[in-house]
Structure 1
Amino acid sequence: MLKKVLHGLNQKKVKVFSLFLVCSFLAWFLSNLSESYEARSNLVLNYRNLPDSLLLGKNSENVIEAKLRTSGFQFLFYNFVKKQIDIDVSEVEYQNGQYVLMDDALKKQIDLQLSQNISLLDLDRSRLVVDLYQVASKEIPITANLDLKFQQNFIMEGEPKITPDKVVVKGPESEIDTLDEIQTESIQLTNLSADFSKEAALIFPKGLDNSIFSIGRVNVSGKVVKFSEEVFEIPITVINPPEGYQVKTFPDAVTVLCKATVDRLKGISSSDFEVEADYAQLNGSNKNTLLLTITKEPENVYDVRLSEKTVNFVLEQQ
């Protein structure tokens, strides 16, 4: 029984002693943190106010080491949350092919952004070299990468509409001078029978690390219409016949398949087409067939196709 009492008393003493020890340590720790110290701390750099004629390169420094005098509390805070410093790029000077922010201007910008209880003593460099380069600008057309499958007798009317249809790229001239077009990601649509509209990302070429683009996505839309087919019989015209001979083709006419909307087909006739066979294409050979070519067709149709691509012929002396 006595042992149990002594054991209980010893446990209480240990707890009380531990409590006083922790309180003493905290009091000592807080007292030391409230004192001023000189130490080095890393400051994170954010570049601001870039002139329109310059762009920030990938090799710019994003951290600078500063010697500061402040309380231990402040240094403890900086160990967890890095101090962000905005660097005004408009104050840089161009020297020996580099854009630099000199010591006085650099210290002034940093000092103005530190709290009143923090003194800036020194920096790890006498000047800050900023990776800037002259910017060139270019407007580049956008093309849609479409893979469309339509229901039977449906087709897209005209070209797809891309909004916006151009992208502005800014970067070193050596990077952007070869850009002629920017494509969208592949847009795959199946079983189409109605108008479509789809947002798509732009695919930028590799090797443009220092270039920026005004947009990254566009809207691609198209008008889908129902079409019909009609066959027209068109006489064959032979051009460049040999002197003193007449070229007679068998047959003397060929059928042409035309696809268009129903309303458009109502206004089309055989006179809107011309089919020619050029005798000069033989170039002295002994072939007895001529290649047929459609040389005239109506506007605003989707497809015009010959039923036969060649025709037989005979020569008749005049």
Structure 2
Amino acid sequence: MPELKSKILRLFRSKKLNMFLLFLLLAFSILILTKLSKTYTATLSFKVNAKHTNDTHVIVDAEAITLDVTLETYGFKWLTYAFKRPELDVNFENDISKKDSTIIWNTSKGFSSINNQFGKDVKVISINPEAVAFKFDVNDVKYVPIILDANIQYAQGYNTLDEIKTNPDSIKLIGPSSTLKDIQYIKTQKISLEDIKNNINQSLQLKLDSLNKTVKTNITRTNLSIKVSKFSEDIISLPIEIINIPKGKSINYFPKQVSLSYTTSLENYNNIANQDFKVVCNFEEAIDNSYLTPQIVKQPKDVKNTRLLQQKIEFIITE
């Protein structure tokens, strides 16, 4: 066994073997170069790009259409196609005809345009199919609201009087009407804000990944702005007004006043007065002819978290 191993090692160290392997490699390289230098004819499928389309038209599913092109070229060129195959531009300015909602591209009109895209060392033999139908839709414009996807938690004693919304609060969509009709809103990327004490001014990315490629937008981001203030709670006592009492009847009710709690910013605290609120009970909504439910029908815009501390007003009917 050691003797066999020794012979193999001597064989690989032999200059004759090394020369043989070198000539074998050169011969193989010459063979490959010879093969690649010859011309061959074959058919390949190419994806197409719609070029010079009318601004009012949107081509639907153009990426699914291919052209089978028979080519004659050198082996070197075929080798490049094996690694990367170009897309072919289809000219929608001159090489088409229209029929209803379909654009017809004809080989007879577009042959020279396709041929010019391959260069001088490639000969285009034929293109199939002879005619390709591209469906198109008319561009439409639609505005949809932007929905804020956020979890917002204020620090204790802090809040905002502003309506939380984005700026802008809507987005313009441009695309096929058949596609836009199913889009009702666009969401922002989800964010979580906790223990907020200071004003918020943050740019948010819109969720546009799910939109069809034929849909274009005027913006990709929106801004969230929140004015945060220190808040205080107050409790006031308000008289109750009874409405819709039947004619010829009167009622006696208790209590005559209810307590109402609310919160507002410290800067607005002194601007809030009792007369800014109004509480009524609707006699037509009396429950079991024994008690009424008070409702807040008027309150200033600069308050939040209003609630009545009494939910039942007892009454009796007096003739």
Relative to the length of structure 1, the TM-score reads: 0.84
Q: Counterpart in 1 of 2:314?
A: 312
Secondary structure at the residue paired with 1:232? strand
Matches of 1:100 and 1:268 in 2, distance apart? Answer: 70
Tell whether 2:299 aligns with 1:281.
no
Q: Provide structure 2 residue ranges, at least 5 long, that are not aligned to the other structure.
A: 1-6
Matches of 1:255 and 1:186 in 2, distance apart? Answer: 39
Paired residue for 1:138, among 139, 142, 149?
Answer: 142
In structure 1, give the amino acid aligned to 2:89: D
Paired residue for 1:212, among 212, 215, 219?
Answer: 215
Paired residue for 1:71, among 71, 74, 79?
Answer: 74
Q: Counterpart in 2 of 1:155?
A: 159
Runs of 4+ with deviation above 6 angstroms: 7-10
In structure 2, give the amino acid aligned to 1:287: N
Tell whether 2:91 aligns with 1:126.
no
Contact 2:48/2:90 (<8 A) preserved: yes
Cα deviations across residues 105-163 of structure 1 (Å, max 9, x unaligned)? 33222112121222211113212233433333211111213322211121123122413
Q: Provide structure 1 residue ranges, at least 5 long, that are not aligned to the other structure.
A: none
Contact 1:102/1:127 (<8 A) preserved: yes
- What RMSD, in angstroms, separates the aligned Cα atoms of the two structures? 2.9
Contact 1:199/1:217 (<8 A) preserved: yes
Contact 1:273/1:297 (<8 A) preserved: yes
In structure 2, give the amino acid aligned to 1:303: N
Post-superposition offset of 1:265: 2.0
Q: Counterpart in 2 of 1:53?
A: 56
Matches of 1:191 and 1:10 in 2, distance apart? Answer: 78
Alignment CA distance shift 1:101-1:195 (3 Å) = same
Q: Counterpart in 2 of 1:295?
A: 297
Paired residue for 1:267, among 266, 271, 283?
Answer: 271
Contact 1:56/1:133 (<8 A) preserved: yes
Post-superposition offset of 1:168: 2.4
Q: Counterpart in 2 of 1:14?
A: 17
Equivalent residues in 2 for 1:239-258, closer than 5 Å:
239-258=243-262
Relative to structure 2, which stretch is displaced further, 248-257 or 171-180?
A: 171-180
Relative to the length of structure 2, the TM-score reads: 0.83
Post-superposition offset of 1:301: 1.7
Percent identity, please.
24
Q: Counterpart in 1 of 2:3?
A: none
Secondary structure at the residue paired with 1:159? coil
Tell whether 2:181 aligns with 1:168.
no
Matches of 1:144 and 1:179 in 2, distance apart? Answer: 16
Secondary structure at the residue paired with 2:119? coil
In structure 1, give the amino acid aligned to 2:280: E
Tell whether 2:246 aligns with 1:226.
no
